[in-house]
A = this chain, B = another copy of it.
Amino acid sequence: MDIFTGTTVGTSWRRAVISVDQFSRGDINEIFDLADRLANGRTTPLGGKIIANVFYEPSTRTSSSFFSAMTRLGGSVIPINEVNYSSVTKGESLEDTIRTLENYCDLVVLRHFENDATERAMEVSKIPIINAGNGSGEHPTQALLDLYTIKKEHGGVDDLTISLMGDLKFGRTVHSLTKLLRMYDCRLQFVAPNQLAMPAEYIWPADKIYQDLNEVIDSSDVLYVTRVQKERMQGSEDFDFSYAVTTHHMKKAKNDMVLMHPLPRVGEIATELDSDPRAAYFRQMKYGLHVRMALLYAMIGNV
């Protein structure tokens, strides 16, 4: 995961959003302030601008979010979702695809199955790139929107107890979010079965490790649940995943606990919780729209 750090620390996120490692607390404040402002505005500052949504792996959620963010800012989107049966199948390299697209648009949003894709794209590109998920690597805009959700729901991040539960081993979402949370004075609790435990490099001494939701449900200000991505578990044996959140757990949770999930969910959170005001996972999508509007505006809006 850290193979990027060397390069990305030296790269301005305004040129290419590759990793959460690029963002200082000041950067984040700036982006979130911008998100607040754009959420309420009715301006179209990106009128005449074009982005390309280049998805080598399908993701309706993420591509629709960027599509909507760009459109709400007055810009246009070239949807390239069918990469699997396009030029690429004629053997074109990612680099050549990017150098072609830079003639047609002002920014590329890139979802790719290889971990080094965004960096390779950035190396050759004259226009800004946003990493919208690179293999098992990072998904930095997801981590930013997760952090923004916590800030909006709780008014801040410091002093919170934040529990992350589910697939902590393969889930790029929780890895990136964990990195961001290290900039704040909050307590982290990891809940996962052994097979899916958080890798050692992400664990700090003060963190607490659990295997049972019941041990953390009453102390958590935020409970962040992730999907068990079976497609990432090739080779590991199936297991009985009993980490689903139910009304039973919510009764023991704090009144202002914030329940989050990056979606899609496949049973980790019972649908009967959807009407609980603490269920923030659909609001999370709205916050995500605003964060992506802020990033697009900061990167190509001539702020």
* Interface residues in chain A, defined as those with a beta carbon under 8 Å from any beta carbon in chain B: 42, 44, 48, 50, 52, 58-61, 64-65, 67-68, 71-72, 76, 78-83, 85-93, 95-97, 99-105, 124, 227, 263-266, 271, 274, 282, 285-286, 288-289
5 interchain residue pairs of minimum CB distance: A92-B264, A68-B104, A60-B86, A103-B285, A91-B266
- For A100, list chain B residues within 8 Å (CB): 61, 64, 263, 282, 285
- For A86, list chain B residues within 8 Å (CB): 58-60
Q: Is the CB of A103 within 8 A of B67?
A: no
A-B contact pairs, 11 of them (CB 8 A): A44-B48, A50-B68, A60-B97, A61-B100, A64-B78, A64-B80, A68-B104, A68-B105, A92-B266, A95-B271, A96-B263
Q: Once bound together, how far apart are the Cα atoms of A269 and B153, in whole Å?
A: 54
Instruction: Using CB atoms, name the residue of chain B closest to A100.
Output: B285
Q: Once bound together, how far apart are the Cα atoms of A92 and B65, in whole Å?
A: 17
Copies of chain A in the complex:
3
- For A227, list chain B residues within 8 Å (CB): 90
- For A52, list chain B residues within 8 Å (CB): 64
Q: Is the CB of A265 within 8 A of B104?
A: no
Report if A72-B92 is in contact (Cβ < 8 Å); known contacts: A82-B58, A104-B289, A285-B100: no
- For A90, list chain B residues within 8 Å (CB): 227, 264, 266
Q: Once bound together, how far apart are the Cα atoms of A76 and B74, in whole Å?
A: 10
A35 to chain B, nearest CB (A): 14
Report if A60-B83 is in contact (Cβ < 8 Å); known contacts: A50-B71, A76-B71, A92-B264: yes
Report if A85-B104 is in contact (Cβ < 8 Å); known contacts: A64-B78, A264-B91, A266-B90: no
Q: Is the CB of B60 within 8 A of A87?
A: yes
A234 to chain B, nearest CB (A): 15
- For A104, list chain B residues within 8 Å (CB): 64-65, 67-68, 285, 289
- For A264, list chain B residues within 8 Å (CB): 87, 90-92, 96
Instruction: Using CB atoms, name the residue of chain B closest to A80.
Output: B60
Q: Once bound together, how far apart are the Cα atoms of A168 and B68, in whole Å?
A: 41
A267 to chain B, nearest CB (A): 8
Q: Once bound together, how far apart are the Cα atoms of A86 and B53, in whole Å?
A: 14
Of B50, B64, B78, the residue contacting A101 (CB under 8 A) is B64
- For A103, list chain B residues within 8 Å (CB): 68, 282, 285-286, 288-289
Instruction: Using CB atoms, name the residue of chain B closest to A101.
Output: B64
- For A48, list chain B residues within 8 Å (CB): 42, 44, 72
- For A266, list chain B residues within 8 Å (CB): 90-92
Question: A64-B104, A92-B264, A102-B282 provided; 12 other pairs, C-beta below 8 A?
Answer: A44-B48, A58-B87, A60-B87, A60-B97, A61-B100, A79-B79, A81-B82, A90-B266, A99-B282, A100-B263, A100-B282, A100-B285
